[in-house]
Chains A and B, each alone.
Chain A
Amino acid sequence: MTTTLTRSRARTRTAAALAALALAAGLAACSSSSSTGASAAGSPSTGASQPALSGTVTVFAAASLQGTFTELGKKFEAAHPGTSVKFNFGGSSALAQSIVGGAPADVFAAASPATMKTVTDAKGTASDPAVFVRNTLEIAVPKGNPKHISSLKDLAASGVKVALCAAQVPCGAAAQTALKAAGVSVTPVTQEQDVKGALTKVELGEVDASIVYQTDVKADAGKIDGVDFPEAAKAVNDYPIADLAKAPNSAAAKAFVAYVESPEGMAVLTAAGFKAPAAAAAGSPSPAASGSPSPAASPSA
């Protein structure tokens, strides 16, 4: 009796240990991509003045930044050998929620101060967010503008299918502001979760128009046409960026933010149609001090 018991117990222990191992291995596999910062063997930095950065920088950025940030990421990697920039593009509000929910991210670039506030309210940023660009809205229509849309009022016409961003995401909030300014009420056929979703519906010809950012129209110039409207001036979006309190790779996070705000970074952004922030010189905190200690930035292993 006793022998069987001990044996079965030993067997249980082995099984439990195995199960625990399997679990741990599974978890490690899932989270390994985010925690390579410290372990990755950084190749010797070629830039003499730069502190040696290494590992992965995970950047959560608004969908409308996809083109420019992908390019900035490549340039950043080239400037800092040994680093690799990973992006998660999506609706700013969804990204903000996942950061608050504990997603391992180093940098957050949002398409509106309101979505950034979700993160700052949860004490999720390491430093105060700084507005780095602004973006204006434009009506996107399929190539050739088959429904002859020339103003916001045309979107309310019957028989015109419109895709808007959901009001929860910045492009949707801005579109509502613009529509209100124009005194137009539009019933969309769908409320998309991010601006690229709305854009795709235009590109596929499934809708006749959508309200998106100028930069999106510019990026997709070959496939869609843009229609400017005066009310866009009343709904300009500020894009804030910040490195995050729980950044697994906080040094590289600060460097990436600094790079985006640098003249080189701004050149890429303005070439894509983004506008420099209104009071850039006055308000934004100096991003250059990447070596200075930041009180909140203590990477939690």
Chain B
Amino acid sequence: MRRASRTAPAALLLPALLGLLFLDLPLVGLLVRAPWRELPAQLAGDQVWEALRLSLVCATSATAVSLVLGVPLAWLLARTRFPGQRLVRALVTLPLVLPPVVGGVALLLVLGRNGIVGRWLDSAFGLTLPFTTAGVVVAEAFVAMPFLVISVEGALRAADPRYEEAAATLGASRLTAFRRVTLPLVAPGVAAGAVLAWARALGEFGATITFAGNFPGRTQTMPLAVYLAMENDPAAAIALSLVLLLVSIAVLAGLRGRWTGTP
């Protein structure tokens, strides 16, 4: 690292610095324009903490759902062969490319009260997902899970399958081998995927507002609160954004070691 700036060619350094500026200047702007004096009053309201709590709870639940469903899905894609596998992989990654609002519309049409599956859920269990906190989790998991699947599948492909084969020759069933050998082996990949999914879920906006609607304390997460505050009270929007920025920085700082250690 000694005197790296001297050896970095200017043709790379200049755009790199521009890139850095581009990424961080807006955040500096947020700090500059922050209504520091009004900030305590802005943040004293229950709505802020309600939205933050909801955001954290929903993002964490969505990550949990993604782990439970996504890790096995990644294993299926990485460790088995079946016809149409490429198509399946493309389908798994589709929500990653799809605009989240489209995802929200699709979820509403399928899981809504009059949706194909939602109608049955309603009549059989009296369960309706739109406009509920569970709906927020569903929307966030829909958008975030592909990040986890991709990450874990990559880790599985990089992991040596011979360990599993060795476990099998020693009499372990495939499930035991997965639990005792594969999973510990790809744990960093799973962790990285979970962090990505969590971050994506925390920032989720489009699918949430389309599918789960907007109601303070129930479905209004931080991004929704910021967006709505921006419509008539920009100062409140900035205050909310600062809180979200702080949470993001805290998460990044907390994961620093693990983050850099993963492939």
Which residues in A have some Cβ–Cβ distance to B below 8 Å?
8-9, 11-12, 15-16, 19, 91, 93-94, 97, 118, 161, 163, 166, 168-169, 188-193, 201, 204-207
Give 21 CB contacts A-B under 8 Å: A8-B10, A8-B11, A9-B10, A11-B9, A19-B18, A93-B232, A166-B228, A166-B231, A168-B231, A169-B231, A189-B130, A190-B212, A190-B215, A190-B219, A191-B216, A191-B228, A192-B214, A193-B214, A204-B108, A205-B112, A206-B130
Q: When the two chains form their complex, are residues A91 and B231 in contact, meaning their CB atoms are under 8 A apart?
A: yes
Pick from A16, A91, A163: contact of B213, CB below 8 A. Answer: A163
Residues of A contacting B108 in the complex (Cβ-Cβ under 8 angstroms): 204, 206
Chain B neighbourhood of A192, CB < 8 A? 213-214
Chain B interface size, as a band, is: 20 to 34
Q: Which residue of A lies closest to B112 (CB)?
A: A206
Judge whether B15 and A189 touch: CB under 8 Å: no
Contact yes or no, A94 B231, CB < 8 A: yes
Q: Is the CB of A12 within 8 A of B14?
A: yes
In the A-B complex, the 3 residue pairs with the smallest Cβ-Cβ separation, listed nearest first, are A190-B213, A189-B131, A12-B10
Query: How near does chain A come to B58, taking the closest CB pair, in angstroms?
Result: 16
In the complex the two chains form, is A168's CB within 8 Å of B232's CB?
yes
Residue interface mask B226-244, A partner, CB < 8 A = 1: 0110111010000000000
Contact between chains at A16 and B14 (CB < 8 Å): yes
Which partner residue on chain B sits nearest A22 by CB separation? Answer: B15
In the bound complex, residues from chain A placing their C-beta under 8 Å from that of B11 are 8, 11-12, 15
| B residues at A contact (CB < 8 Å) | 9-11, 14-15, 18, 108-109, 112-114, 130-131, 209, 212-216, 219, 227-228, 230-232, 234
Say whether chain A's binding surface is mostly helix, strand, loop, or mixed: mixed
Q: Specify which chain B residues have a CB less than 8 angstroms from the CB of A168 in the assembled complex.
A: 228, 231-232
Among B109, B214, B219, B232, point to the contact of A97 (Cβ < 8 A).
B232
How near does chain A come to B89, taking the closest CB pair, in angstroms? 32
Bound Cα distance from A169 to B230, whole angstroms? 12
Evaluate contact between A15 and B14: CB separation under 8 angstroms: yes
Complex CA gap A188/B10 in Å reads 58
The answer to whether B234 touches A204, judged by C-beta atoms less than 8 angstroms apart, is no
A97–B230 CB distance below 8 A: yes
Nearest Cβ distance between residue B128 and chain A, in whole angstroms?
Answer: 8
CA gap between A201 and B214 in the complex, in Å: 12
Tell me, in angstroms, the Cα distance from A209 to B109 when the chains sit together.
18
Give Cα A273–Cα B252 distance, bound, in whole angstroms: 54
Chain B residues, Cβ within 8 Å of A97: 230-232, 234
A166–B18 alpha-carbon span in the complex (Å): 40
Q: Which residues of A contact B109 (CB under 8 A)?
A: 204
A191 touches B215 (CB 8 A): yes
| Closest-CB distance, B236 to chain A (whole angstroms) | 11
Q: Is the CB of A204 within 8 A of B231?
A: no
Q: Name the CB-closest residue of B to A207.
A: B131
On whether the beta carbons of B131 and A190 are closer than 8 Å, the reply is: yes
Alpha-carbon gap, A94 to B114, bound state (A): 30
Of chain A, the residue at the smallest CB distance from B209 is: A193
Q: Which residues of B contact A204 (CB under 8 A)?
A: 108-109, 112, 114
Q: Are A93 and B231 in contact (CB under 8 A)?
A: yes
Additional pairs, 19, CB under 8 Å, beyond known A15-B14, A168-B228, A189-B213: A11-B10, A11-B11, A19-B18, A93-B231, A97-B234, A118-B232, A166-B228, A166-B231, A168-B231, A168-B232, A190-B212, A190-B213, A191-B215, A193-B214, A201-B213, A204-B109, A205-B114, A206-B113, A206-B130
Shortest distance between the CB of B158 and any CB in chain A (Å): 35
**Shortest Cβ distance from residue A17 to the other chain B in the assembled complex, whole angstroms:** 11
